[in-house]
Structure 1
Amino acid sequence: MIRTRGLTKRFGRIVAVDSVDLDVAEGDRFGFLGPNGSGKTTLVRMLLGLVHATAGEIEVLGKSMPRNAAKVLPQVGAMVEGPGAYPHLSGRRNLAMFDAAGPGGGRRGRADRVESALAQVGLSGVDRRPVSAYSLGMRQRLGLAAALLRAPRLLILDEPTNGLDPKGIREIRDLLVALNEAGTTVFLSSHLLAEVEQLCTRVAVVDRGRMVLQDSLAALLAPTGHVLVRSPDAAQVVALLDGQVVARDGDRLVVRHADVAGLNADLVGRGLRVSGIEAERRTLEQVVLDSTGASGDRIDGPTGGEDR
Structure 2
Amino acid sequence: MITTRDLTKRFGRTVAVDGVDLHVREGDRYGLLGPNGSGKTTLVRMLLGLVFATRGEIEVLGQPVPKRVREVLPSIGAMVEGPGAYPNLSGRTNLALFDAAGPGGSRRDRRKRVDEALERVGLAGIDRRPVRAYSLGMRQRLGLAGALLRTPRLLILDEPTNGLDPRGIREIRDLLAELNGEGATVFLSSHLLAEVDALCTRVGVMDRGRLVVQDELDDLRTPTGRVTVGTPTPERALALLDGRVENHQGQFLTVRHDDPGTLNAELVAAGVTVTALAVERRTLEQVVLDATTTSADRVEAGR
Runs of 5+ unmatched residues, structure 1: none
CA separation of 1:274 and 1:259: change in aligned 2, threshold 3 A:
closer
Distance, in Å, in 2 between the alignment partners of 1:125 and 1:185 is 28
Partner in structure 2 of residue 269 of structure 1: 269
| Structure 2 counterparts to residues 208-247 of structure 1, below 5 A | 208-229=208-229, 231-233=234-236, 235-239=238-242, 245=244
The letter of the residue matching 1:71 is E
Deviations 1:160-204 (A, max 9, x none): 111111111111111111111111000001122112111101000
Specify the SS of the correspondent of 1:116: helix
Partner in structure 1 of residue 292 of structure 2: 292
Partner in structure 2 of residue 13 of structure 1: 13
TM-score for both structures, normalised by structure 1? 0.91
Give, in angstroms, the shift of residue 136 of structure 1: 0.8
Aligned pair 1:29/2:10, yes or no? Answer: no
Runs of 5+ unmatched residues, structure 2: none
Deviations 1:49-83 (A, max 9, x none): 11100000000001000000110111111000001
The letter of the residue matching 2:223 is P
The letter of the residue matching 1:89 is L
Deviations 1:72-120 (A, max 9, x none): 1111110000011111100100000000001124421000000010001
Query: What is the aligned counterpart of 1:248 among 231, 234, 246?
Result: 246
Distance, in Å, in 2 between the alignment partners of 1:12 and 1:61 is 30
Aligned pair 1:92/2:92, yes or no? Answer: yes
- % identity of equivalent residues: 67
Partner in structure 1 of residue 77 of structure 2: 77
Distance, in Å, in 2 between the alignment partners of 1:122 and 1:221 is 34
> Is residue 207–residue 293 contact of structure 2 (8 Å, CA) maintained in 1?
no
Specify the SS of the correspondent of 2:100: helix
Q: Which moves more between the two structures, 93-102 or 190-199?
A: 190-199
The letter of the residue matching 1:36 is N
Deviations 1:192-221 (A, max 9, x none): 211211110100001000110000011112
CA separation of 1:224 and 1:284: change in aligned 2, threshold 3 A:
same
> Is residue 232–residue 273 contact of structure 1 (8 Å, CA) maintained in 2?
no
The letter of the residue matching 2:188 is L
Specify the SS of the correspondent of 2:170: helix
Aligned pair 1:168/2:153, yes or no? Answer: no
CA separation of 1:294 and 1:12: change in aligned 2, threshold 3 A:
closer
Partner in structure 1 of residue 152 of structure 2: 152
Deviations 1:137-159 (A, max 9, x none): 11110000000001111000011
CA separation of 1:97 and 1:250: change in aligned 2, threshold 3 A:
same
Deviations 1:212-241 (A, max 9, x none): 0000011112434431346435652334xx
Specify the SS of the correspondent of 1:232: helix
> Is residue 224–residue 280 contact of structure 1 (8 Å, CA) maintained in 2?
yes
The letter of the residue matching 2:186 is V
TM-score for both structures, normalised by structure 2? 0.92
Partner in structure 1 of residue 258 of structure 2: 257
> Is residue 232–residue 274 contact of structure 1 (8 Å, CA) maintained in 2?
no
The letter of the residue matching 2:101 is A
CA separation of 1:7 and 1:268: change in aligned 2, threshold 3 A:
same
Specify the SS of the correspondent of 2:241: helix
Partner in structure 1 of residue 134 of structure 2: 134
Distance, in Å, in 2 between the alignment partners of 1:165 and 1:235 is 43
Specify the SS of the correspondent of 2:226: strand
> Is residue 232–residue 275 contact of structure 1 (8 Å, CA) maintained in 2?
no
Partner in structure 2 of residue 123 of structure 1: 123
> Is residue 105–residue 150 contact of structure 2 (8 Å, CA) maintained in 1?
no
Q: Which moves more between the two structures, 220-229 or 162-171?
A: 220-229
Partner in structure 2 of residue 179 of structure 1: 179
Give, in angstroms, the shift of residue 122 of structure 1: 0.6
